[in-house]
Amino acid sequence: MEFTLRPWTPADKSSLLQYANNFKIARFMTDAFPHPYAEENANQFIERFGHTDPPNVLAIDVNGEAVGSIGVFPQADIMRLNAEMGYWLGEPFWGNGIVPRAVQQMIAYTFSTFPEITRIYARPYSNNPASKRVLEKVGFTLEAHIKHNIIKNGEVLDELIYAVRKQG
């Protein structure tokens, strides 16, 4: 399935509400990604990420509709060479190979757009095998497995830290 990565716009609000309001997605996101996902949440998201220059959070667009999101979050201070990556995709689009290709594109975009970044990391939960497979498939390496480090929906989980480094 073909897709593009592009900046978020106010016109994406209805599709953001449609696809983000899904517990199957929210269960693997931080608590900052609410469920249920309400109009106020969509407004805040688009206001926050629709105006960054350069954009660091992009819509995953299929046929002109924002069906997911992928972003990198450059770190500060002693972690300033690093950026954390996060992503989600609307459930109707799962199983089409979109996320691995979007992650690959975001890696290339990050290293070219933010030249100071030399390492991109992601922190999937231990109960999310699909995300672990995506990261491994595109070249991320498991750097750490921290036991009983996070709590999500009342369940204590292990935190995994995967990373990919800029070549050259």
pLDDT in tens, 40-51: 999 999 999 999
Q: How many CA atoms lie within 13 A of 119 on its CB side?
A: 14
Q: Domain containing 88 — which CATH number? A: 3.40.630.30
Query: 18: domain range?
Result: 4-165
Q: How many CA atoms lie within 13 A of 85 on its CB side?
A: 30
Burial 21-31 (b: 16+ CB within 10 A, else e): bbeebbebbee
**How far is it, in rounded angstroms, from Cα 136 to Cα 164?**
10
For the chain, 168 residues long, give each residue's pLDDT as a single digit of tens.
Answer: 999 999 999 999 999 999 999 999 999 999 999 999 999 999 999 999 999 999 999 999 999 999 999 999 999 999 999 999 999 999 999 999 999 999 999 999 999 999 999 999 999 999 999 999 999 999 999 999 999 999 999 999 999 999 999 997
**How far is it, in rounded angstroms, from Cα 87 to Cα 67?**
11
Question: What is the total residue count of the chain?
Answer: 168
Going by C-beta distance under 8 Å and a sequence separation of 6 or more, which residues neighbour residue 59?
5, 6, 7, 8, 9, 12, 66, 68, 69
CA torsion through residues 100, 103, 109, 111, sign = negative
Q: 73 and 55 in contact (C-beta within 8 Å)?
A: no
- The whole-number pLDDT of residue 132 equals 97
How many domains is the chain built from? 1
CB atoms within 10 A of CB 121: 21
- The whole-number pLDDT of residue 168 equals 72
